[in-house]
Amino acid sequence: MTKKKTTQSFSQRMGLETGFKKIQLKQMDDDLKNSLWNLIHEYVLYYNKRDSFTDEGLMEFRTDLMSNFIKQPVHTIPTNHFDYERPYYDKFSMLSWNKIYDLMQFLLGKPYVRIGYADQLNYVLEREFSGYRVIKNLIVPVSNELETDTIDEALNSAKKYTALDGVNVHLGNALVLLSDRNDPDYRNSIKESVSAVETAAKLITGESTLGNALNKIEKTGLPVNNQLKESFNKIYNFTNDKTAGIRHGVSGEHVAPDFETAKYVLVTSSAFVNYLVGLAEKAGVISKTKKK
């Protein structure tokens, strides 16, 4: 099936908004925060408004959440069965990003939380490009500052030189396809990530393919470590594998790539771009003409 092309919004086309999100590690944008609140509303608050929910269960929910987690004085906990969402939201809206994650984890496995909460939480975290996931009832990082800094450094390095315009375009496209909330395209994100390295290597060597460029790159005078070169060559071979279906037609035994694979290739490609650009700058291979 042909993947539909992601359509940019008016704001993105006009340059008023970027077409991608950064992986959120030490912050939480409004989209993520509101989505997590909506999850609490659906899987906790609304679920506990059901007529079939017992008074004992309702009191357990109120006491556990408001007294044991939020630490609200017991006598101020709302008791109106139909009018207690606003007090909860008021408390939620004041929480810092890390305390919100504490709350989302606190709710995991609770008897008053609707079944399916963990799966839906993971869906929201992935959709909103959070750097965290639920694994064995714990919210744990699937990214780190080094990874996000590596991507940022590669984008910024590529922006410095006119010769690296193509590298910047490919890395930007990879991030857009990976971070699209509505229709992420992991297969083509991987393709764009590898194309960024291919563009950089071809620029340095003059070769027409990444495979030939990697084989020739030492001859340009760059002291590229053979093991590092070979490690990226294996990633390139992975994208050419029929079961991956990245650069060539999808075979019958195709295994669709997931977020973790696409992110790994983006981070690895960004790191290799940084490596090549740094070596090329030292050797004077890359044009020193910077953009104004």
Q: Distance between CA atoms of 208 and 101, rounded to whole angstroms?
A: 47
Q: Is the dihedral of CA 39, 41, 44, 49 positive or negative?
A: negative
Per-residue pLDDT 10s for the chain (292 aa) are: 334 444 566 665 555 565 567 788 889 999 999 999 999 989 988 777 664 455 555 667 777 777 777 777 767 666 665 566 777 888 889 999 999 999 999 999 888 889 999 999 999 998 898 988 887 788 887 778 788 888 888 888 878 878 888 898 899 888 888 877 667 888 899 999 999 998 888 888 888 877 788 777 777 777 777 787 788 888 888 887 776 667 666 655 667 788 888 888 999 999 989 988 888 887 777 765 555 5
In a domain, 106, yes or no: yes
Q: Kindly report the pTM of this predicted structure.
A: 0.66
Count of domains forming the chain = 2
Residues 111 and 154 in one domain: no
Q: What residues make up the domain containing 82? A: 30-141
Residues 180 and 54 in one domain: no
Structure tokens at 192: 């764009």
Structure tokens at 213: 């460029």
Structure tokens at 34: 């509101």
Residues 88 and 171 in one domain: no
* φ/ψ (deg, to 5) at 133: -145, 160
Residues 197 and 273 in one domain: yes
At 39 the three-state DSSP class reads helix
Contact 199, 270 (CB under 8 A): no
Residues 218 and 109 in one domain: no
Residues 152 and 278 in one domain: yes
Q: Distance between CA atoms of 128 and 33, rounded to whole angstroms?
A: 9
In a domain, 13, yes or no: no
CATH number at residue 279: 1.20.120
In a domain, 8, yes or no: no
Q: Distance between CA atoms of 95 and 32, rounded to whole angstroms?
A: 13
In a domain, 11, yes or no: no
Q: Distance between CA atoms of 245 and 222, rounded to whole angstroms?
A: 32
Residues 195 and 119 in one domain: no
